[in-house]
Amino acid sequence: MFERIIKRFSGVRILVLGDIMLDRFIWGDVSRISPEAPVPVVVVEKETFLLGGAANVVNNIHSLGGKASLCGVIGDDEMGQKVLKRLSEMGIERSGVSIEPARQTTVKTRIIAHHQQLVRIDRETTRHPKLSTIRSLSEYLKRNIKSFDGVILSDYGKGLLTRGLVQDVIREARQTGKFVMVDPKIKNFFFYRGATVVTPNTGEASSASRISITDEASLNRAGRILLKRLKCEALVITRGEDGMAIFEPHQKPCLVPTEAREVYDVTGAGDTVIGTMALALGAGAGIRRAAELANHAAGIVVGKVGTATIDQEELTTVMKERLRLK
């Protein structure tokens, strides 16, 4: 069953709307401490650039064989051009990406030595885009939503996802019978009422529900409150090393244990979860089966260093191994 769903990923089309970023990695070696301050001296060996934020969700969908289009805003700068160049190299549809001259493209720079992240440096603009940019994105969505199986809203708190834009997306999706999945940030949490699936992490779920999630009982209380307030079809709380908790109306909560064997880097794991779930839903899986696939996909990604992705073969191999061990 899982193998059949994964094979269907290639026929699924997802529109990803959200905060576009570029992940910059500086890789090096540390052999001494600086005489100027008690900090390590990193001798740089190489520098790499990867798609981040909403663009990494697209990257995950693409890696798993699905078809994705990106919709968002970047600055008219060198890093924005790197984003566009990478999208073109991958054959990703980028006509939904708006360029705003006064805006800075969000860049997260991570300095890594001996497979460990030492520091992260962020450059970003977090104000809302211009009204003309928001209108352009909304019009693009309305023109194109019918050609997609579903929409992902990837919120990294960088100002793109306004209440009006989010409501436009959810309204258009309902009218056209498309699902909407949301990776939320706490600032905009209740903008997403009426979405199909919302996937907060434990910290976001705690803040939004005002319940400190410390055990299964508090997890269940928080989940039920949020499910009711969001009016969504499913709430999936991602819990790191504790796996996931799935809440659906009129059903008992479903706890899915983590599938990670070794955790090197959680960068981008949430993007893998929501991208895999969207592909699975588009391929005909139910919420719980889609979440289980996403859980296994995240378990693979956190075992890699950097903003990593997986492909169909990796996911199929892991699922077959799991079925053998049952």
- Catalytically active residues, by annotation: 271
**Ramachandran angles phi, psi of 218, nearest 5°:** -70, -35
Query: Are 123 and 106 spatial neighbours (Cβ–Cβ below 8 Å)?
Result: yes
Distances (CA, A) of 279 to 44, 50, 63, 87, 203: 38, 21, 11, 19, 25
The number of angstroms, rounded, from the C-alpha of 145 to the middle of its chain's C-alpha atoms is: 19
**Ramachandran angles phi, psi of 125, nearest 5°:** -120, 125
Strands (E), the chain: 13-18, 20-33, 40-53, 67-75, 93-100, 106-113, 116-123, 150-154, 179-183, 197-198, 234-238, 244-247, 254-256
Q: Which is it for strands 244-247 and 254-256: parallel, antiparallel or unpaired?
A: antiparallel
Question: Minimal CA–CA distance to 185: which of 198, 172, 168?
Answer: 198
Cβ-based neighbour number of residue 16 at 10 Å: 32
Q: Which is it for strands 67-75 and 40-53: parallel, antiparallel or unpaired?
A: unpaired
CA distance 284 to 55: 24
What angle do the packed helices 163-176 and 131-144 form, to 10 degrees? 10
CA angle 185, 62, 266 (to 5 degrees): 45
